[in-house]
Structure 1
Amino acid sequence: MEPVNLFDLATRQSQWLAVRQTAIAGNIANVNTPGYLARDVEPFEKVLDRTGMTLGSTQPGHMGFGATEASFRTQAQEYNGALLPSKNTVVVENELMKAGEVRRAFEMNTAIVKAFHGMLLSVSKG
């Protein structure tokens, strides 16, 4: 088992957020494309579930988990609203809300990495 590597986990979430932001930008770019189906990335929680993380101890009293490389799948979103005559499923307001969620998640991810980096520096300085 691999020990918990919070920097690796933060990197993977950052990569996932970049892929999601690309999907959202593609949706907004195709808002007027006839027949375009809005796309989104599967939730990060499902990516983590799919990686097969299991708990394991590296030393008595320590617990950790390992993860394998995960691919981030984009998929057509389920859409229950009324379709436009062009059969386009992109709703700009929803895409802008998702873009805001991605921005906030990037900010939180960066703050967590910064905090852990500060902790590592304080431990290494003594």
Structure 2
Amino acid sequence: MDSIYLMGIASRRADWLSNRQTVIAENVANANTPGYTSKDIKPFSDVMNTTRLEMEASSPMHLVSAGGRSVDVDETKENAWDVLHSGNSVSLEQEMLKAGEVQRDYSLNTSIVKAFNRMLLTTVKG
């Protein structure tokens, strides 16, 4: 059985969020650059799909595989809202929404790590 390390996953998520924030900052910095095209990075779910983590259960009733879902999840590619006549496709409103998502996700990630840390400390203390 391969172990799943929550701290390692949280660390990868924090690195991904940091990289996404950097790309968003580059987009905002180039908002007035003629011909600049807005950029974004691959979703974190795609990054995690490359790690090939496998779930394991002690009973077949504990976990349902991805094939057991009743609804398929569709992902759509995000397009720029406006493309200016200068060829620039950066929308400051869209970039600020992305920055808000990054901040919210980072706060959630930090809260999960803190909760896991408290759980570990409680276990160690007895």
Q: Alpha carbons of 1:33 and 1:111: their partners in 2 closer, same or farther (altered >3 Å)?
A: same
Structure 1 runs, 4 residues or longer, greater than 6 Å off: none
C-alpha displacement at 1:85, in angstroms? 1.2
Q: Alpha carbons of 1:14 and 1:93: their partners in 2 closer, same or farther (altered >3 Å)?
A: same
Quick one: distance in 2 between partners of 1:108 and 1:12?
Answer: 14
**DSSP 3-state at the match of 1:41:** coil
- 1:104 and 2:110 equivalent? no
More strand by share: 1
- Number of residue pairs matched by the alignment: 110
C-alpha displacement at 1:83, in angstroms? 1.9
Task: Show the 5 A alignment for 1:1-126.
Answer: 1-56=1-56, 79=79, 81-126=81-126
Quick one: distance in 2 between partners of 1:93 and 1:105?
Answer: 19
Matched-pair identity in %: 45
2:34–2:88 Cα contact (<8 Å) kept:
yes
**What is the RMSD of the two structures over their aligned residues, measured on CA atoms?**
2.0
**DSSP 3-state at the match of 1:104:** helix
Give per-residue Cα distances to partners, 1:54-113, cap 9 Å, x unaligned: 2357xx67x9xxxxxxxxxxxxx7536442111001000000000000001110000000
Quick one: distance in 2 between partners of 1:82 and 1:40?
Answer: 16
**DSSP 3-state at the match of 1:101:** helix
Q: TM-score, normalised by structure 1?
A: 0.79
**DSSP 3-state at the match of 2:33:** coil
**DSSP 3-state at the match of 1:4:** coil
2:38–2:89 Cα contact (<8 Å) kept:
yes
